[in-house]
Amino acid sequence: MASLFEVDIAKLRGVGEKRAKLFCKLGAPTVGDLLRLYPRDYVDWTSPLPIGEAPLGETAVVRGEITEGPSETRARGGLLLCRATAWDGEDEVRLTFFNNRFISQMLRPGETYLFRGKLTQSGGRWAMASPAFVAQAKAPGLEPVYPATQGLSSRQVAAAVQAALKLLPENMRDSLPQALREKHALCHLGYALERIHRPRDQEELAVARRRLVFEEFLILQLGLMQIKSGRKEENLHRASGQYPEDFARLLPFRLTGAQQRAIAEGVKDMAGSSPMNRLVQGDVGSGKTAVAAALCWVAAKSGWQAALMAPTEILAAQHYQSLSALLEPAGLRCALLTGGLTPKEHRAVQAAIAAGEVDLAIGTHALISQKVSFRDLGLVITDEQHRFGVNQRAALAQKGASPHLLVMSATPIPRTLALMAYGDLDISVLDELPPGRQPVETYLIGPDKRERAFQYVRKRLEEGRQAYLICPLITEGETAMMSLDQYEALVRGAFPGVPIEVLHGKMKPAQKDRAMEAFAQGEARLLVATTVVEVGVDVPNAAVMIIENAERYGLSQLHQLRGRIGRGEHKSACILIADNDSPETLERLRLFKSTSDGFAIADADLKLRGPGDFFGQRQHGLPPLKIAGMWMDMDLLREAQKCARRVFYSGALEGEEYRSLRAETRRLFEKTGGTRLAL
């Protein structure tokens, strides 16, 4: 198998140079990769229904013998019609094909076929238009459907996969040792590959899938463990380990128990024998910033520098404002480094950081630019980490000698998934909100009630509050939905004389800052924005949010958005406007309306939309999962995790029989550039 990853896809029978490019596009530059390009779905030919029992109007597979036709006629306009009738011993179905001159040669009278199409009824007779069909004797069981791309159909991919399967050696080596396979009831790799691409029935598919999912989880987990243990280097920045009481006194509020625990865990890590490597997971508003600030304070008091990296300019600026206000009176020197600075300002900040005149550098990914160097970077914090990749985190860490790492995430993900996605980190959970928060009231209305929602906003504006109006970023004409410009015009018309700012991702950083600043200072009363405000922005006076086209967002994203309000002492309301009457969508939104628990919402999202959203590369920079993401099974994940721990910590992984598993692990992380460590 390993060597097939060295065979260029162009060398495969029937592929050639030109098509090879298309295969690369699908993520299969080699024959080995092609074998790992799993079907995204299957057409089930295994259980044809009697014609009379197939559901009308839905796609179904029926079986029938050709009793009439096929016969060709020309309709008006030259359209070629081919008709035939098939009989299953009870009922007849009339088949019609359009403009396909091969059908009459393919369908043979007296032979039995399986037909797959939408069954309709006309004049008391069953009918199917343009069904797909196969001879019963050659029925494929489950027919794989592959990811396709322009110029390369699923069928063509299937043909190439079949050619690739022929190249698998007769008694190929398995990447998983036999003992491990037996322990976990996993089939051989050869069988799994063969059957995932050519399952004869659901059972074979389940067996193949189980093996491949397990392997994928195992490899991912092993890779993360290796990254983690690779960081078990010496701690060159040893803190005293004392809880920072003096810091707590700087705060205008009392830390919650959860915050105190997270700070204590961090402080203990920083005093340990190897550097801290910790994730702080907390729902929106749980007060992650204070935890970060406490550890920055510890770093500065220990004589090292700290860096805080945020995913957007807005968020970096906001952190800078609140943290410098808090920490500068205590003697910490803070600096903001973002892409928005002039070159001259940039150079000045860089020089100060390099000279050690800055204790806490706050910024966007500008912080990881090559020109930035620190005198002694001891602590690296990344906020809203799902926006950064594993590699960006690593790049910042490289600017110091084994600095401590703290990652803050506001995506409450179920514990098992957290272990999966952040297997390389220790985890602190902020499971307690600061006291006195008023829950946000959530409403769900149709667009016809928009004016009433606006009326409510007007009332709250009069009380002195501010509001977010969220609209998807759509350019003119893209869909039937309103574009941001149209929406802005609508809002300006509905709120004459009210100062309004607009914020979207395509604006220049300086423009964004200006808009956000105006809103934060209360000069603008309404902020018309896309989801760029989703991340971390904090304006306590904003107490109302309207989310247009709420059906377009995942629950976790809505939760993030809603987390922007209810941050001050004011009663807050979130109004979802959904232009959609699909029952599933409404159910989803109703569920969202009924709870404010981020973990419950994440669980629901997981059930409704699958783990893709948690595992998507975009979220956390992990290598994309090829099969596990689609066929996620929590029990299997737990089993693979346990197995990974055993194999890894017993040292078994270093043995000869694990050689190819080690190689696969390395390959997975190399591809995404996800590791800075020699695996």
- Residue 244 as a binder of Mg ion (CB under 5 A): the answer is no
* Residue with smaller CB distance to Mg ion, 315 or 653: 315
Considering beta carbons, is residue 227 or 262 the nearer one to ligand ADP? 262
Tokens of residue 407, six digits: 């990652």
In whole angstroms, how far apart are CA 37 and each of 16, 147, 168, 212? 18, 8, 15, 12
Interacting stretch for Mg ion, rule CB under 5 A, among 45-53, 503-511, 533-541, 637-645? 533-541
Contacts with ligand ADP, residue ranges (CB under 6 A)? 253-256, 259, 282, 284-290, 410, 434, 536, 538, 540, 567
598 forms part of the interface with Mg ion (CB under 5 A)? no
Shortest CB 407 distance to ligand ADP, Å? 13
| Structure tokens given for 654 | 């270093």
Q: Which does 101 bind (CB under 5 to 8 A by kind): ligand ADP, Mg ion, none?
A: none
Please give the residues from 176 up to 235 whose contact with Mg ion meets the rule CB under 5 A: none
Residue number, 520 or 577, with CB nearest to ligand ADP? 520
Q: For residues 124 and 551, what is the distance between their CA atoms, to the nearest angstrom? A: 40
Cβ(388)–Cβ(413) below 8 Å: no
Segment (H or E) for 135: strand 132-135
Q: How many helices (H) and strands (E) would you count in the chain?
A: 24, 21
- Amino acid residing at 534: E
For residue 168, the 8-state DSSP code is S
Query: Which one of 378, 536, 563, 674 is in contact with Mg ion (CB under 5 A)?
Result: 536
> Residue with CB nearest ligand ADP?
287
Please, how many CA atoms are within 13 Å of residue 554, restricted to the half-sphere of its CB? 20
Q: How far is the CB of 383 from Mg ion (least distance, A)?
A: 6
Binding of residue 285 to Mg ion (CB under 5 A):
no
**DSSP percent split of the chain into helix, strand, coil, nearest 5:** 45, 20, 35
Q: How far is the CB of 261 from ligand ADP (least distance, A)?
A: 12
Choose between 93 and 545: whose C-beta lies nearer to Mg ion. 545
Question: Which residue's CB is nearer to ligand ADP, number 272 or number 568?
Answer: 568
Distance of alpha carbon 421 from alpha carbon 670, whole angstroms: 17
Residue with Cβ nearer ligand ADP (32 or 566): 566
Of 334, 331, 364, residue with least CA distance to 349: 334
Distance in Å, CB of 566 to ligand ADP, minimum = 10
Which lies closer to Mg ion via its Cβ, residue 64 or residue 536? Answer: 536
Whichever of 161 and 284 has its CB closer to ligand ADP, that residue is 284
As measured in angstroms, the least distance from the Cβ of 251 to ligand ADP is 7
Q: How far is the CB of 545 from ligand ADP (least distance, A)?
A: 15
Q: Can you read off the two tokens belonging to residue 488?
A: 């802005």
Least distance from ligand ADP to the Cβ atom of residue 513, Å: 18
Give the residue from 34, 6, 1 showing the smallest Cα distance to 20: 34
Question: Rounded to whole angstroms, how far apart are CA atoms 382 and 319?
Answer: 12
CA distance 393 to 253: 31
Query: Nearest distance from residue 601's CB to ligand ADP, in Å?
Result: 15
Question: Out of ligand ADP, Mg ion, none, which partner does residue 282 contact, by CB within 5 to 8 A per kind?
Answer: ligand ADP
Cα 146 from chain centroid?
21
The nearest distance, CB 255 to ligand ADP, in angstroms, is: 5
Coil, helix or strand for 583? helix
Residue 448 CB neighbour total at 10 angstroms? 9
Give the shortest CB-253-to-ligand ADP separation in angstroms.
3
Q: Which residue type, as a one-letter code, is found at position 336?
A: L
Q: How far apart are CA 410 and CA 384, in angstroms?
A: 6
Name the residue nearer to ligand ADP (CB basis): 254 or 459: 254
567 binds, among Mg ion, ligand ADP, none (CB under 5 to 8 A by kind): ligand ADP
Binds 319, which of ligand ADP, Mg ion, none (CB < 5 to 8 A, cut-off by type)?
none
From CA 270, how far away is CA 379, in angstroms rounded? 9
Please say whether the beta carbons of 61 and 49 come within 8 A: yes
Q: Between 554 and 563, whose beta carbon lies closer to Mg ion?
A: 563
Query: Site residues (CB under 5 A) for Mg ion?
Result: 536
